[in-house]
Amino acid sequence: MNRERSIEELHRDDPERADALAFGRKVDATRRGFLGGAGLAAMGAAVGGPIVYSAAMPGGLVPAAMAQTPAVPAQAAAPRGPQVLQFPGKDNGLILLQDRPLVAETPEHMLDDATTPISKFFVRNNGQIPDEVANPDAHAFTIEGEVNQALRLTVGELKSRYRAVTYRMQMECGGNGRSFFQPPTRGNQWGNGAIGVAEWTGVPLRDVLRAAGLKSSALFTGHFGFDPHLSGTPGQVAISRGMPIAKAMERHTIVAFAMNGQPIPHIHGGPVRLIVPGWPGSLSAKWLNRVLVRATPHDGPGMGGTSYRVPTIPIVPGTNVDGRTNFRDMDSMPVRGVLTSHANGARLPAGTRSLDIRGAAWAGELDVQRVHVSTNFGQTWRTMRLAELKNKYDWRRWSGRIAFPTDGYYEIWVRAQSANGVYQPHAPANWNPQGYEANSFHRVAVLIG
């Protein structure tokens, strides 16, 4: 009886025939002429080894190994590549994107914990870091506006008067993935690491709103923190965003006072902040001191125009638009999956023929339906195993095993699919001036041997 050879075995023994069988076509002669000769040798030298599935590489693709450079300490002379954050209590592997305001990203391989440690949690500020509160339990915030009676609560009163809940929930910046857009857009050039999933403890915002008594005209909220504006101008607000009252009344939207079982660190908005899971992190006001209940949509800094808004009709990339028409406010964040078990540029021992991998996937308001991984530039995909959720807005941890036919250069591509059937795209779609919702495949370069 003849044994059928796997595509990996075919590729090892006869790459051209394997390509033709696996990809259902003959390799383009022009592309083979470039990648099969001096061009392939040059690219292989650039990435550190032979590109095993070179015939399947999409035209114009920049290898993932060349797309990122190592981070270096911020104080290093003539730094090459990204700088790393130097901040008390923070892992020095975080990438410093900006120091005024302070913004730092968590590289994907540092998101390998089911619950993101505080030391690895990304940092996003819009204004100056305010002075730390001397007595956290004495700090007060107010509920005002379209309520029967304005309510003022200290953090201590919040803890003593209301029943606290703890959920493991996503916190994701609206601009996560922004650096993948072409042409480039405004804002911090995030990779996939503007995400963290912590155990947040607090009181559902709806319990506090009900205590104040919502009027029939209570349709929206506006959120305020006590962080000073970058200019230092007294009374000028750094950022103030708001949401429809339905999201405010969802049980997972909380006024939080603890993170991973300890008081929320000052850099993460302590002593009290909002957590609005699944939606852009800018809604989760840090250093909370006021919630304004409104009859009309909020109009604070960070609302309207192109701020946290995306086109409803595609626009030509690079177009200068004001967002007044054919734009909508962002709500649920898009589906995204990342590999966390191995960093981009990982080197594996010669002879490695299989690898256990793992990662995370999430989709804002929605669950993740499946995660696929490819090692041959998307020609074939393998389905990964999904772990159980702890609660809604947790991320899906995933795991599986992949195979390699021979030594050389590979790219591990990860794509997730949300519960409504939407996959991550190969390239970010719906270009917009501020670079929101860029959720293309995660690509990780691996070199064997």
pLDDT of residue 187: 95
Q: Which residue has the higher pLDDT, 22 or 318?
A: 318
Q: Is the pLDDT of residue 77 over 90?
A: no
Domain-embedded: residue 177? yes
pLDDT of residue 25: 40
Residues 41 and 134 in one domain: no
Residues 365 and 442 in one domain: yes
Range of the domain at 251: 120-303
**Could you read off the pLDDT of 379-403 as tens digits, one per residue?**
999 999 999 999 999 999 999 999 9
The chain-wide mean pLDDT, for the chain, equals 91
Residues 281 and 187 in one domain: yes
C-beta of residue 189 within 8 angstroms of C-beta of residue 96: no
How confident is residue 341, by pLDDT bands cut at 50, 70 and 90?
Answer: very high
**Could you read off the pLDDT of 192-244 as tens digits, one per residue?**
999 999 999 999 999 999 999 999 999 999 999 999 999 999 999 999 999 99
**Could you read off the pLDDT of 140-178 as tens digits, one per residue?**
999 999 999 999 999 999 999 999 999 999 999 999 999
Residues 410 and 348 in one domain: yes
Domain-embedded: residue 48? yes
pLDDT of residue 24: 40
Domain boundary among 21, 38, 55: 55
**CATH code of the domain covering residue 242:** 3.90.420.10
Lowest-confidence region among 65-79, 113-127, 193-207, 414-428: 65-79
Q: Which residue has the higher pLDDT, 40 or 187?
A: 187
Residues 425 and 344 in one domain: yes
Residues 281 and 354 in one domain: no
**Could you read off the pLDDT of 272-315 as tens digits, one per residue?**
999 999 999 999 999 999 999 999 999 999 999 999 999 999 99
Domain boundary among 35, 55, 75: 55
Q: DSSP letters of 303-365? A: -STTTTEEESS---TT----SSSSEEE--SPPPEEEE-SS-TTEEE-TT--EEEEEEEEEBTT
Domain-embedded: residue 319? no
pLDDT of residue 6: 46
Nearest in space to 412 (alpha carbons), one of 374, 372, 449? 374
Q: How many domains does the chain have?
A: 3
State the pairing for strand pair 288-294/220-225.
antiparallel
pLDDT of residue 115: 98
How confident is residue 444, by pLDDT bands cut at 50, 70 and 90?
Answer: very high
Domain-embedded: residue 65? no
Count of positions (residues) in the chain: 449
pLDDT of residue 34: 43
Predicted TM-score (pTM) of this structure: 0.90
Residues 386 and 436 in one domain: yes
**Could you read off the pLDDT of 22-61 as tens digits, one per residue?**
334 444 433 443 455 667 788 888 999 999 999 999 888 8
> Rounded to the nearest 5 degrees, what angle is found at the Cα of 169, between the Cα atoms of 137 and 110?
105
C-beta of residue 196 within 8 angstroms of C-beta of residue 116: yes
Q: Is the pLDDT of residue 373 over 70?
A: yes
Domain-embedded: residue 308? no
Q: Is the pLDDT of residue 252 over 70?
A: yes
Domain-embedded: residue 422? yes
> Rounded to the nearest 5 degrees, what angle is found at the Cα of 64, between the Cα atoms of 63 and 68?
120
Domain-embedded: residue 104? no
Average pLDDT of the segment spanning 17-26: 43
pLDDT of residue 43: 85
Residues 18 and 159 in one domain: no
Half-sphere exposure of 430 (CA within 13 A, CB side): 18
Residues 155 and 12 in one domain: no
Domain-embedded: residue 309? no
Average pLDDT of the segment spanning 349-354: 98
**CATH code of the domain covering residue 435:** 2.60.40.650
Residues 153 and 282 in one domain: yes
Residues 342 and 249 in one domain: no
Residues 176 and 252 in one domain: yes
